[in-house]
Structure 1
Amino acid sequence: MSKILVIDDEESIRLTFSAFLEREGHTVLMARGYDDALSLLDAEPDLVFVDILLDSLSGMEILRYIRDRGLLCLVVLVTGEPSLETATQALRLGAYDYLQKPVNKVSLLHVTRQALRLKKLQDEKRALQAERTSLRLHLEAVFRSVPEAIITLNLQGKIIQANRGTVDVFDLQPDELEGTDYKESLGHFHEAFTHLVGETLRLRKHVREFRIEFRDGGGDPRTAVLDASPLVDSDDNFLGVVLVVRDISRMAGLKRELKQRRSYSNIVGKSSRMREIFALMEDLSRTDTTVLVTGDSGTGKELVAEALHYSGPRAGKPMVRVNCSALSENLLESELFGHVRGAFTGAVRDKVGRFRLAHGGTIFLDEIGDISSRIQLKLLRVLQEKEIERVGDTATMKVDVRVVAATNQNLREKVMLGEFREDLFYRLKVVEIQLPPLRERRDDIPLLIDHFVRAFNLEMGRHVSGLTEEARSALMNYPWPGNIRELKHAIEHAFVLCRGQTLEVNHLPAEVFHPLDILSRVASPGERSVDRAALQNALERSGGNKAKAARILGVSRQTIYRKIREFEIA
């Protein structure tokens, strides 16, 4: 039960109150005056009965003492001489009730029950408030300490509150955001903020995991995941939006770094040799050094040239490509350096050469080992003097061009045979990038397979999920004399023949899954089965070019012509 303190200078009254109250099951403490009462108040009674007129200080002073110290007990004043003034003062000081002597049992117990009922309600209210305060403080601590930026908005889109996470995510203090309109405060970072909050306000539904990239208030790049939820009260009334912004910049950076370790620009690879090449290319991309790219046909020499150009300071300028083996000497000279009108028969107007077109950028000279001695001499002058002379002209023109050359030939051997100028060789070979054949970097084949599957899915609008183990094994074991180009064509060939979502071994070119039979198949390529749908698909992919369609299907052109007649394809 409850603890009750009775304060009266008359012992008979103290004993009478005690008797009545103890019979109700209460614990009763008794004091005869002010000094005794102060020590018993430390026992934290629930209810106090105090006589206004005591021998020493009055009951009013005890009431004032209880109020001033914030004690939680209720006080009932008892007096033999009631007055309106005394009653008013008692209530003003916080007394619960006012009893007039003589006090009978019924009145005493009635007031006691009412007071203790109120005291219980007050205690429960205080406990609930304390619990709510504790929970609020706990939530505020969580709100402040979580790394995510948490922003609450009302129905009008005004930011109600923001936590310290906004400093890390946006480089903005919470008070810079609070009270502002979300469109003005967040919209300039990324349109997704306004879209996400607007949709949540409109639909009143949770919108999850929206990834964006933006720049914070300090201009630094950020990658974040947005999450917007309805803000509701305990009765499920919609009050606004809770926006959570999780900064994943470090995670995204690590993923980019991992991806970069496995590729450089569009060049895919994770083998130790390719990582060394990527590191060298990274260094070269920041310079204008002339580079010679060597390697077998199909190893990706042009991709290296593109990567050097587009990852360097010349990326915004032209990247001009020249296949030196595809043109005769005279045509190549005109193509590289340009000509003036009347320089030769057919030169009816001035022509701008490739070096001039590449001014400020990069020129890629493929198959450099096939150029004639005269072209070699003119190219040497360009590299030495940074100037060109058009065919039929005597004036020179300055050019600012980075030169990247490539060959699948052994230029050092050609120098020894007198077929290539030694001085030009060393001008070209300031830095050499030697690309290994695919057979020497088999660890990269799975990456290349997945890369080409994704590329052809995008290009053809397909949803091929991958390859069977047998197909992968065939690709891993094939010697790839045509290197990456041949692997790409093999995957394209499989895409053409595949009707489902998994590439199987029989979809691959014959020589890949039967490498030992390659000679016999070359001798009789028409034996490979080609159905109407596969042929139409190959012709569509090749733009009607029958030779290319034959390569895609792994058959001869004669077979293509025969099947076209057989299937009566126009």
Structure 2
Amino acid sequence: MPNRTQNRERDVILDSITEGVFTVDSDWRITSFNRAAEEITGIPRKSALGHQCRDILRADVCESGCALRETMRTGKPIMNKAVHIVDAKGERHAIAISTALLKDENGNVIGGVETFRDMSLVEELRKKIEGRYCCEDIISRDHRMQELFGILPSIAESDCAVLIEGESGTGKELFARAIHNLSPRKDKRIVAVNCGALPDTLLESELFGYKAGAFTDAKKDKPGRFAMAEGGTLFLDEIGDVSAAVQVRLLRVLQERTYEPLGAVSSAKADVRIITATNKKLGELVEEGKFREDLYYRINVMRLDLPPLRERKDDIPLLVNHFIKRFRGLSNKNISCVTDEVLVMLLTYDYPGNVRELENIIEHCFVLCQGEVIEKKHLPASVCPITGADRISTSETRTLKEMEQLLIIEALRRNKGNQTATARELGINKSTLFRKLKAYDIKPQAIA
């Protein structure tokens, strides 16, 4: 047994460490608790000594995923595991913990040791960064998306019709819901209808409802989506797929603010804001005579054009972190990041399904990954096909320099060689961009 002098010397050493440190015996009772641990938890050393560590730290992993218990069971240390604890005031704190076995001079295991760092400042900074690039549930640092974020509150405050154009998976419904949530109508419902998924007759009854006896199976009145969205917002997705007959009825609603349920003898008022979306170019459909010009101008008071993910690849690391955080909350896994190799593959993929496809890819990885880091083997074959990716040597994929060079060139091309705009889009200083251009021998004038 160590004497008091040895204990005092140990405490002096532990108190000089800036990270929180505590040790436990074989019964999980705390045998030492340094000054940094007191400061982070708000619990005095005297109050901690002799108590079980779970009663002091009250971490979210104490009952089902204790890192120290895992180390005691396997003998393997754990490094920088992200967890949350509850301090003496009942406030939740983000910390990173590392664990190891505690042995005596003969090498016998007598307990465990855990160190932890306060990550509250890092967490706060991360939230600020996310907040800067976030609007409602939409995340992007792309300059075009940032411009949309800037005008979204003004659009929401008005009651004008909005047309959202963009490829499938770019987040059209997210934008529609963001407009609704920021609008004076936010306390009422937003009702979504996929116009492309319903045949004409069914779409009319879904939109306008029907009265009992309107047709053979109409036993009782059924309210349509316009009635369900009364006072709120009606989101009509895939508006470019509706027939000419439905276009005429929609035009009347927008012009007169009234509609007639099927089988009705009188009109009903429509206090509804209309937001439409399509993955087609409605202007081209109008020129081809496939969409009514008068309806087009009615729904196109404000038009939002969402860029595909392949044109805003700077968003991919931000989105990857966002989806990892979301799926970590939905699962019992403690996955925290992807490897550099995986990030390179995600950055070079073209995403025909856009953001929705990236979300599916990360969910796929969560199903297969049993550790804390997503690796290449967890990616679906569409992202890293065996016939292609496996032929690439390690030297070709071990660094992000080539990827950084590609991102700079793409950003320069999008900004027509303008270095100030390119630096702004990439989130770096112009002097930093200048150094990278020189290092990679990139000529902006040649790209423009």
TM range (shorter): 0.5 to 0.7
- What letter corresponds to residue 462 of structure 1 in structure 2? K
1:299 pairs with one of 170, 183, 193: 170
Deviation at 1:288, TM superposition (A): 1.2
Other-structure match for 2:103: none
Alignment of 1:442-461 (within 5 A): 442-461=313-332
1:278 lines up with 2:149 in the alignment:
yes
1:349 pairs with one of 220, 237, 242: 220
Other-structure match for 2:233: 362
Q: Is the 8 A contact 1:478 1:515 kept in 2?
A: no
Alignment of 1:382-397 (within 5 A): 382-397=253-268
1:484 lines up with 2:383 in the alignment:
no
Alpha-carbon distance in 1 for matches of 2:127, 2:325? 18
- What letter corresponds to residue 335 of structure 1 in structure 2? E
Other-structure match for 2:245: 374
- TM-score after normalising by structure 2: 0.59
Other-structure match for 1:470: 341
Alpha-carbon distance in 1 for matches of 2:261, 2:388? 53
1:269 pairs with one of 133, 140, 153: 140
Deviation at 1:506, TM superposition (A): 1.5
Deviation at 1:514, TM superposition (A): 2.9
Deviation at 1:261, TM superposition (A): 2.4
Alpha carbons of structure 1 residues 465 and 407: separation in structure 2 relative to 1, 3 Å:
same
Q: Is the 8 A contact 1:261 1:275 kept in 2?
A: no
- What letter corresponds to residue 436 of structure 1 in structure 2? P
Alignment of 1:56-455 (within 5 A): 258-455=129-326
Considering only aligned residues, what root-mean-square deviation do their CA atoms show, in Å?
Answer: 2.8
Alpha-carbon distance in 2 for matches of 1:281, 1:405? 15
Alpha-carbon distance in 2 for matches of 1:478, 1:297? 16
- TM-score after normalising by structure 1: 0.47
Q: Which runs of 4+ in 1 moved over 4 A?
A: 203-212, 254-258, 515-518
Alpha carbons of structure 1 residues 267 and 343: separation in structure 2 relative to 1, 3 Å:
same
Alpha-carbon distance in 2 for matches of 1:365, 1:307? 15
Q: How big is each residue's C-alpha offset from its partner over 1:15-35, in whole Å with a ceiling of 9 and x where there is no partner? A: xxxxxxxxxxxxxxxxxxxxx
Other-structure match for 1:115: none
- What letter corresponds to residue 224 of structure 2 in structure 1? G
Partner SS state of residue 383, structure 2? helix
Alpha carbons of structure 1 residues 398 and 261: separation in structure 2 relative to 1, 3 Å:
same
Higher relative CO (Cα under 8 Å, sequence separation at least 6) belongs to: 2
Please, which runs of 5 or more residues in structure 1 have no aligned partner? 1-195, 213-247, 519-570
Please, which runs of 5 or more residues in structure 2 have no aligned partner? 1-40, 50-55, 57-86, 93-119, 390-448
Q: Is the 8 A contact 1:511 1:517 kept in 2?
A: no
Q: How big is each residue's C-alpha offset from its partner over 1:97-134, in whole Å with a ceiling of 9 and x where there is no partner? A: xxxxxxxxxxxxxxxxxxxxxxxxxxxxxxxxxxxxxx
Alpha-carbon distance in 1 for matches of 2:259, 2:224? 9
Alpha-carbon distance in 2 for matches of 1:442, 1:516? 24
Deviation at 1:517, TM superposition (A): 5.0
Partner SS state of residue 432, structure 1? strand
Other-structure match for 1:119: none
Alpha-carbon distance in 2 for matches of 1:459, 1:469? 24
- What letter corresponds to residue 198 of structure 2 in structure 1? L
Deviation at 1:290, TM superposition (A): 0.8
- What letter corresponds to residue 282 of structure 1 in structure 2? P
Alpha-carbon distance in 2 for matches of 1:425, 1:461? 48
- What letter corresponds to residue 287 of structure 1 in structure 2? S
Partner SS state of residue 149, structure 2? helix
Partner SS state of residue 382, structure 2? helix
Other-structure match for 2:427: none
Larger Rg belongs to: 1
Alpha-carbon distance in 1 for matches of 2:244, 2:302? 22
Partner SS state of residue 235, structure 2? strand
Alpha-carbon distance in 1 for matches of 2:340, 2:283? 43
Alpha-carbon distance in 1 for matches of 2:128, 2:338? 27
Partner SS state of residue 323, structure 2? helix
Alpha-carbon distance in 2 for matches of 1:294, 1:341? 37
Alpha carbons of structure 1 residues 256 and 359: separation in structure 2 relative to 1, 3 Å:
farther
Partner SS state of residue 363, structure 2? helix
Deviation at 1:391, TM superposition (A): 0.8
- Percent of aligned pairs with the same residue? 46
Partner SS state of residue 364, structure 1? strand
